[in-house]
Amino acid sequence: MSIYPLGLKLTGRRVLVVGGGAVATRRVPALLAAGAVVEIVSPELTPALRGQVDAGRLTWSERRFVPADVVGAWLVHVAIDDPAAAEQVSAAAEQHHVFCVRADDRDAATAWTPAVTRHGQVTVAVTDGGDRRRAMAVRDLVANALESSPPVAGQHKGVALVGAGPGDPELITVKGRRLLAAADVVVADRLVPGLLLGELRPEVEFVDAAKIPYGPAAAQEEINRILVERAIEGKFVVRLKGGDPFVFGRGGEEAIACAQAGVPVLVVPGVTSSIAAPALAGIPVTHRGVAHEFTVVSGHIPPDHADSLVDWAALARMRGTLVVLMGLKNLSRIAERLIAEGRSPATPAAVVQEGSTSHQRSLRSTLGEVAEAVTEAGIRPPAVVVIGEVVHAAV
Ligand code: SAH
């Protein structure tokens, strides 16, 4: 006997889940993602499912199953391990011609949930005669093959602003990596992990934004022009940026330029160095009982400069963590200003250079001495400066 594979459109359709334990907790998210109207019947519920109930995403009847529960359902999931009770659900489902998935007994089920992998628009579902382990093994093989094979052309359009993370190529998001593999054109910044670029197919056009030979303002205009032009030619453009695209990355300007030209833009957030670099040096930007806030500022303009938008006096009054990006050059002036505005020179401070890479270095000091310590140690950009008691919370 062979099964008949099918893709169900569950949007707006009632799906009954009998049971509210670990099995239901694992099964329900895919049903909700498919838009199903999920109703759980169970005397108990796990905290995760209760959270979904509280958020209004599913309904819960706090009692045992009765056969009338299957009436009006398009699909039934049995997620209990009491065989007699499960059999009762199966019988009711059979009587009302509703397909019934049985987590406890695949032979008694009238429908199986396959092992699934999703790859953009592609969904691969594998069943193997009821042997779930083998189905999952095959699914993993297919998933790996999809991961490493050239993507299907023409699935994406426009521009994706993708955060590449702080430097370790494994710290890009799954979505970012998938889009990068599908790009026709990649426009990358100086701080983008080189190993990610090594994976690009040879026919991909690579634009090194750091090498555009104008001043910074003109270079940005040139980048915007390249993004828009290539996208209008029908190419899929990935604009790859260090860390998160919207943290001092001018991602906002590029998004606006694309939108103004009618080019669709997708933003894929990234792991920002402002949190990751401290973390990898063992410094949590918040810590219970120590810091309930953290502020990320750019130090590329000195505190007393007319163009500065940072309220250093307010920062000096705060007790929380201060993370300064692009701050090495102006570090002594920044520290002096914070101290002048009232922050103690004894406040712990740390500097993390090239966090998450094999060149990562860090040092610990105090606000009063950190600028000198950086010079002495020969710390170079890119580096983040962390100021606050959390530096002592380091592991
Ligand atoms: N969008 C990026 C920041 C761009 S501004 C992000 O979210 O991380 C560039 C600054 O980021 C650098 O001057 C430095 O302060 C910081 N930076 C970027 N990568 C870093 C890393 N791996 N380690 C330490 N600091 C880093």
Distance 320 CA to ligand 1 centre (A): 20
Of residues 208 and 92, more confidently modeled: 92
- 385 and 358 in a single domain? The answer is yes
pLDDT bracket for residue 212 (50, 70, 90): confident
| Residue 82 sits in the same domain as residue 98 | yes
Q: Mark residue 190 as left, alpha or beta (left: phi above 0; alpha: psi -120 to 50; beta: remaining).
A: alpha
Answer yes or no: is 125 within a domain: no
Residue 244 and residue 294 in one domain = no
Tens digits of residue pLDDT in 314-334: 999 999 999 999 999 999 999
Per annotation, catalytic residue among 69, 104, 184, 189? 189
Is there an atom of ligand 1 within 6 Å of 355 CB? Answer: yes
Shared domain for 230 and 289, answered yes or no, is no
The Å distance, Cα 126 to ligand 1 centre, comes to 42
Distances (CA, A) of 239 to 264, 381, 390: 13, 22, 34
Say yes or no to pLDDT of 227 above 90.
yes
Is the distance from the beta carbon of residue 35 to the nearest atom of ligand 1 less than 6 Å?
no
pLDDT, tens only, 107-166: 999 999 999 998 878 899 999 876 889 999 999 999 988 877 766 666 789 999 999 999
Q: What is the pLDDT of residues 7-45, one digit of tens each?
A: 999 999 999 999 999 999 999 999 999 999 999 999 999
Helix (H) or strand (E) run with residue 90 in it: helix 83-95
Q: Is the CB of 171 under 6 A from ligand 1?
A: no
Measured CA to CA, the distance from residue 298 to residue 301 in angstroms comes to 7
Q: Are strands 159-163 and 237-241 parallel, antiparallel or unpaired?
A: parallel
CA-angle at 121, arms to 118 and 127, nearest 5° = 40
Protein residue with its CA nearest to atom 13 in ligand 1: 326
pLDDT number for residue 368: 98
Residue-level pLDDT at 153: 63
* The two three-digit tokens of residue 99, written as one number: 């397909």
State the pLDDT at residue 150.
Answer: 65
In a mutational test of the pocket of ligand 1, which residue from 294, 325, 328 has the highest number of ligand atoms less than 8 Å from its CB?
325
Instruction: Give pLDDT tens digits for 168-206.
Output: 999 999 999 989 999 999 999 888 888 888 888 889 999
Identify whether residues 290 and 363 lie together within a single domain: yes
Residue 324 Cα to ligand 1 middle (Å): 10
Q: How many structural domains compose the chain?
A: 3
Closest CA to 342 of 312, 304, 371, 321: 312
**362 is a domain residue:** yes
Q: What percent of the chain has pLDDT over 90?
A: 83
Q: Residue 377 phi/psi, 5° resolution?
A: -80, -10
Q: Which atom of ligand 1 is nearest to the CA of 246?
A: 1
Q: Domain residues for 169?
A: 159-268
Residue 39: which CATH number? Answer: 3.40.50.720
Give the atom of ligand 1 at the shortest distance from the alpha carbon of 271.
7
388 belongs to a structural domain: yes
Q: Is the same domain home to 295 and 244?
A: no
Is 329 among the residues known to form the active site? Answer: no
- Number of neighbouring beta carbons within 10 Å of residue 231: 23
**Domain check: are 259 and 165 in the same one?**
yes
Q: What is the CATH number of the domain that holds 221?
A: 3.40.1010.10
Share above pLDDT 70 across residues of the chain, in percent, rounded to a whole number: 98
Same domain, 250 and 348: no
Whether residue 296 has pLDDT greater than 70? yes
Residue that is last in its domain, among 268, 289, 308 = 268
Q: Catalytic annotation on 189?
A: yes
Q: What is the CA(170)–ligand 1 centre distance, in A?
A: 16
Q: Cα–Cα distance between 119 and 39 in angstroms, integer?
A: 28
pLDDT at 159: 98
Residue-level pLDDT at 311: 97
Ligand 1: which atom is nearest the Cα of residue 327? Answer: 15
pTM of structure? 0.84
pLDDT at 155: 79
CA of 248 from ligand 1 middle (Å) equals 9
**Is residue 141 domain-resident?**
no
Residues 249 and 178 in one domain: yes
34-90 pLDDT per residue, tens? 999 999 999 999 999 999 999 999 999 999 999 999 999 999 999 999 999 999 999
pLDDT value at 386 more than 90 = yes
209 occurs within a structural domain: yes
The answer to whether residue 97 sits within a structural domain is yes
Q: For residue 382, how far is its CA from the centre of ligand 1 (angstroms)?
A: 6
Q: Single out the residue in 228, 246, 268 at which a domain terminates.
A: 268
Ligand 1 and 385: CB distance under 6 A: no
**Is residue 138, in this structure, part of any structural domain at all?**
no
Same domain, 47 and 96: yes
**Looking at the structure, do residues 287 and 261 belong to the same domain, yes or no?**
no
Question: When comparing pLDDT for 98 and 209, which is higher?
Answer: 98
Give the residue, by CA position, lying nearest to ligand 1 atom 5.
Answer: 248
Q: Residue 312 is part of a domain; what is its CATH number?
A: 3.30.950.10
Are 235 and 279 found together in one domain? no
Cβ of residue 362 lying under 6 Å from some atom of ligand 1: no
Q: Is the pLDDT of residue 216 over 80?
A: no
Does the C-beta of 352 come closer than 6 Å to ligand 1?
yes
Sign of the dihedral defined by the CA atoms of residues 106, 111, 112, 113, in that order: negative
Domain finish residue from 228, 253, 268: 268
Do the domain assignments include residue 147? no
Those residues with Cβ within 8 angstroms of residue 319's Cβ, 6 or more apart along the chain or in another chain: 291, 293, 388, 389
